[in-house]
Amino acid sequence: MNPSTDTPGDRTELHNRTELHNRTELRDRIDAGMPRALAELAELVAIPSIADERIVDPAECVRAAEWVRAAFRAEGIPAELEQTPDGTYAVIGHRPAPAGAPTVLLYCHYDVQPILDEHEWLSPPFELTERDGRLYGRGAADCKGNLIAHLTALRALRGDTAPEEDGAYPVGLILVAEGSEEQGRASLDRYAEANPELFREADVMLIQDSGNARLGLPTLSTSLRGAVDVVVSVTALDSSLHSGEFGGAAPDALAALVRMLATLRDEQGDVSVPGIATDQTWTGMPYDEGEFRRDAGMRAGTRRIGSGTVADQLWARPTITILGIDAPPVVGAVAAIQPRAAAKLNLRVPPGPTPRSCATRSSLTCTRSRRGA
């Protein structure tokens, strides 16, 4: 094309061809980087970084943090381990933006959920295993796979440019890799409140800790439901009592707890806590009912709970999940009235109400239920 004679249409065609070439080149770089990405994911999954000292030696979380620090340093992002208020380490890095360019904050977390019963796993939880075209291992998706996605994207973006060169990236970069996200202790929140200047540098925050609407369909998630955990405890007696001698008259802590928990949802399965709205609707990508049943592994004959659409329930409305109950196991249980019991609840809160306000309302609901038990 001749710059002096080309038309706006010519320039648009040239721009489109250039964009297509850039996308193709970027895709080729990503494809070329996948073997390294999978090898790194296997390394990271092998570290049992559960941020609970009752389950795993905290040194394992430090080992994972050091792995993350080294990996991002190698990509030209100066990163350090910063201790957060709960004693865990966040990996924090900052590469200033070129003049006039925005700064992107990359968020991820390297800690993982406990594995619960290892015998329920079809493959070792801390060994990355491919099965039927999918990768399995604790943290393979949430969130170590997403952390590796950040690394792979950075490598594809800079191409053959050395990471230490000024022009390696067209934007500024901030790394925030959390070390106790799965524990719900809000430790990073408190760190951010104490160090606001770093987070104010960001023009955009990119969180990879989410999925696509379906396999192969790139999806931009604009919001996620917030979370807060609540522990409800009931104490009714000084000690356990024989159910044959005292049952029927003595207060039963476990029965009272079960009755409380039953009040948190109505007959349809909607949250029934006074003051928490449950009629919101989702206007984004729909979620097919049949597809949801397959994805969730619902058994034949079961019905989905809650009113509205699947998307309404998953993305626009609150939910309360019972994560665990402190009570005697069935195996070894004796004929005794339980003096105390406890349950851990997980509240998922859509954009709008604050998790704290929902937690308070849920606690008050349980308290009212207990008084009536």
**pTM of the complete model:** 0.76
Q: What is the pLDDT of residues 25-82, one digit of tens each?
A: 999 999 999 999 999 999 999 999 999 999 999 999 999 999 999 999 999 999 999 9
Q: Are 276 and 318 in contact (CB under 8 A)?
A: yes
Question: Does residue 219 register a pLDDT over 90?
Answer: no
Instruction: For residue 9, name the pLDDT band (cuts at 50, 70, 90).
Output: low
Taking CA atoms, 111 is separated from 64, 137, 139, 175, 205, in Å, by: 8, 13, 8, 15, 20
Rounded distance between C-alpha atoms, residue 173 and residue 86, angstroms: 26
What pLDDT, in 10s, does the model give residues 221-230? 887 888 888 8
Percent of the chain with pLDDT over 90: 76
Per-residue pLDDT, 169: 96
Is residue 186 very low, low, confident or very high in pLDDT (cuts 50, 70, 90)?
Answer: confident
Catalytic residues: 111, 181
3-class DSSP state of 158? helix
